[in-house]
A and B are shown apart, each in its own frame.
Chain A
Amino acid sequence: MTSVPRVASLLVGCAAGFSGDRTDAARPVVDTLIRLGGPAVLIFETLAERTLALAQLARQRDPESGYEPLLDEMLRPVLADCLAHRIPIVGNFGAANPPAAARRVRALAAELGLRMPVVAVVGGDALTSPEQRGLLARTLAEEGQAIEDGTIACANVYLGAEGIADALWQGADVVVTGRVADPSLTVGPALAHFGWALDDWDRLAGATMAGHLLECGAQVCGGYYADPGFKEVPDLATVGFPIARIEADGSCTVFKADRTGGCVDEHTVKEQLLYELHDPSAYLTPDVVADIGAAEVRQVGPDEVRLSGVRGHRRPESLKANVFFANGWLAEGEISYAGPGAEARARLAAEVLRARLGERERQGPLRVDLIGVTSVLGDDTGDAFARLPAGDARDVRLRVAANHADRAGADRLTREVTALYTCGPAGGGGVRTNVRPRLGLRSCLFPRALATATVTLT
């Protein structure tokens, strides 16, 4: 046996898996981290692809907005204890405006009468310089997904863990980031804690997959898992959020916060391990290419599962960039029918809408759903719907949806649905309509050297 000094493991608790996640999730996680003692970090993952784009547009309208709207509600219950117990908080809740989010964190600490935390801002890169925008446009064109000049609404690039690790090394209590790859929220603290080299691929890959298990919050603890009769989850209403104990070799054990519902077993862990993966031997992140081809998942205790054997390969030369562009208007309308002949009346209403709504203003098909009969499994062309024989459903809701180049076309669809009240088949009720602008998305690779992350401590 070698006599390598043992480095204490690192606990990483996760208190949010998306923007709008439960704000009462953090408390049990922090209580558990305090009970267990030792080095610990609390992470919040709140940035889906669209979330950041909408935040960027919000910041264009109001320079003090563009960060996670629930930031206060997420941090208020736990900020005092995290500061008192030296549990750093790391979150991408800075979204499109990490400096404003950092100001809000400091203001919150002042309101609560706490010692002023050291807040680090790890700035994302919105790729706004003319050189960067030009390169994006050229790259997209070369990949056959060109977008029209001047229609880029916003862009962002996925940064890795280094900025977070730097901030923690410098003593940050709270690290506010913009767009970083989700697993990097976990890799950053692990890098800072263990002092791994940036090319220690296997360890980085282990921490990356630990982060992948954590990044959707409750999804590894029985959330998004239950299927009555087949997959029973105890106390789903109080489903717990996860904690990973990361070891110096990059392996980890995942469990859930004390006194919460849900379950952690080999099956919940495998489902989350494969979530949004493509080739399991090449999960690309800015930090490493992770490979779970030889990984093992073992139950090691009640609600405790160990992940080991993750391998890593050299990180990609390029980073992933998302480019959003204005993409017309989505219009939706719904109306309900019930009782004898309900399905026939709903189908007649759909025919009326088809006759009234020409194809001229529309981009693509008019989608028709009969909620309660078929609304999810068919595709937008409606082929599956067309093949479905008419039935005798007695409680159905007609839904139509279409994309339009301009707002006027979208409004016309919703007016026609509303007109079904007096001009459509008998007994229709409960009209709801919705019009909203759409953002198109193109993804491409962007040279690492041309994207910048800045770390600022206040």
Chain B
Amino acid sequence: MTRTVELRLAAHGRTGDKGNRSNISVIAWDPALYPLLVDQLTEEAVARRFASRRPTRVTRHLLPNLHAMNFVLDDVLDGGVNDALNLDSHGKALSFVVLAMPLEVPESLLPLLRRPNPNHNDTMETTR
């Protein structure tokens, strides 16, 4: 049995920008959750999530020592801080787009999730 939760329960991360390129780290809250991230947070899955930003390339770098991964998304910032019209021209908020992605978690690993009550309804992925 698995349950679908928002990634935010299993990992955290931060966005950085250089030019028209964004990097988003994803860091597992617990080493035992890291293999789930490696399996499910693929370059393709992240590229799909950012389809409306039309990345020309998504690269995933794995850091097993740190139970972390780093996504590099090319050309997703409307030119970057000097060109974009977005209020958030750095794309600082984008880490939370990744953290809203769904993650399938086996029942046995549910106790490792960050939130004390993983059965709560609003942990399910929602989109408007």
* A293 CB–B CB distance under 8 Å: yes
Find A388's partner among B61, B68, B70, B128 (CB 8 Å cutoff). B128
A378, B52: Cβ atoms closer than 8 Å: yes
**Would B87 and A365 count as touching, CB distance under 8 A?**
no
- Provide the bound-state CA to CA distance between A278 and B15, in Å: 11
Stretch with Cβ within 8 A of A (4 or more), from B19-27, B36-44, B103-111: B19-27
Judge whether A275 and B25 touch: CB under 8 Å.
yes
- Summarize A's interface: helix, strand, loop or mixed: mixed
Shortest distance in angstroms between A57's beta carbon and chain B's nearest beta carbon? 14
Q: Which A residues are in CB contact (< 8 Å) with B12?
A: 227, 230-231, 267, 271
Contact of B63 among A227, A292, A440 (CB under 8 A): A292
B66, A367: Cβ atoms closer than 8 Å: no
Residues of A within 8 A of B88 (CB): 376
B86 & A376 in contact (Cβ 8 Å cutoff): yes
Q: In the bound complex, what is the Cα–Cα distance between A379 and B29 (angstroms)? A: 30
5 residue pairs of the A-B complex, CB under 8 angstroms, read A224-B14, A295-B65, A379-B54, A380-B86, A441-B19
A280 to B27, CA, bound (A): 14
Is there a chain A Cβ closer than 8 Å to B118's Cβ? no
Question: Which residue of A274, A371, A401 is within 8 Å of B85 (Cβ)?
Answer: A401
Partner of A277, one of B65, B70, B82: B70
Taking the complex as formed, is B93 at the interface, i.e. its CB lies under 8 A from any CB of chain A? yes
Task: Decide: B97 and A377 in contact? CB cutoff 8 A.
Answer: yes
B14 CB to closest chain A CB (Å) equals: 4
Q: Taking CB as reference atom, which chain B residue is nearest A275?
A: B16
With A230-B12, A270-B27 as known contacts, state yes or no: A327 contacts B21, CB within 8 Å.
no
Q: How many A residues are at the interface, by size bracket?
A: 35 or more
CB-CB under 8 A from B114, the residues of chain A are: 230
Binary contact track A263-297/B, C-beta < 8 Å → 1, others 0: 00001001111111111110000000000111111
Q: Which of the residues B8, B14, B80, B97 comes within 8 Å of A274, measured between beta carbons?
A: B14
Who on chain A is nearest to B80 by CB?
A441
Q: Which of B27, B52, B83 contacts A383 (CB 8 A)?
A: B52
Given contacts A271-B14, A274-B70, A276-B18, 7 further A-B contacts (CB under 8 A): A230-B8, A270-B25, A270-B27, A280-B61, A327-B83, A365-B85, A443-B19
Which residues of A are interface residues toward B (Cβ below 8 A)?
A: 49-50, 224-225, 227, 229-231, 267, 270-281, 292-297, 309, 327, 330, 364-365, 367, 369, 371, 375-380, 383-384, 388, 399, 401-403, 438-441, 443
Q: Which of A274, A296, A365 contacts B25 (CB 8 A)?
A: A274
CB within 8 A of B84: which of A271, A274, A275, A380? A380
Given contacts A224-B14, A267-B27, A383-B52, contact A399 B87 (CB under 8 A): yes
Instruction: Give the Cβ gap from A380 to chain B, nearest Cβ, in Å.
Output: 4
CA–CA, A50 and B18, complex, Å: 12
CB of A403 within 8 A of CB of B83, answer yes
Give the top 8 A-B pairs by smallest Cβ distance, nearest first: A276-B16, A274-B25, A367-B85, A401-B85, A380-B78, A271-B14, A384-B52, A380-B85
**Minimum CB–CB distance for B57 against chain A, Å:** 11
Task: Determine if A278 and B21 form an interchain contact, defined as CB atoms under 8 angstroms apart.
Answer: yes
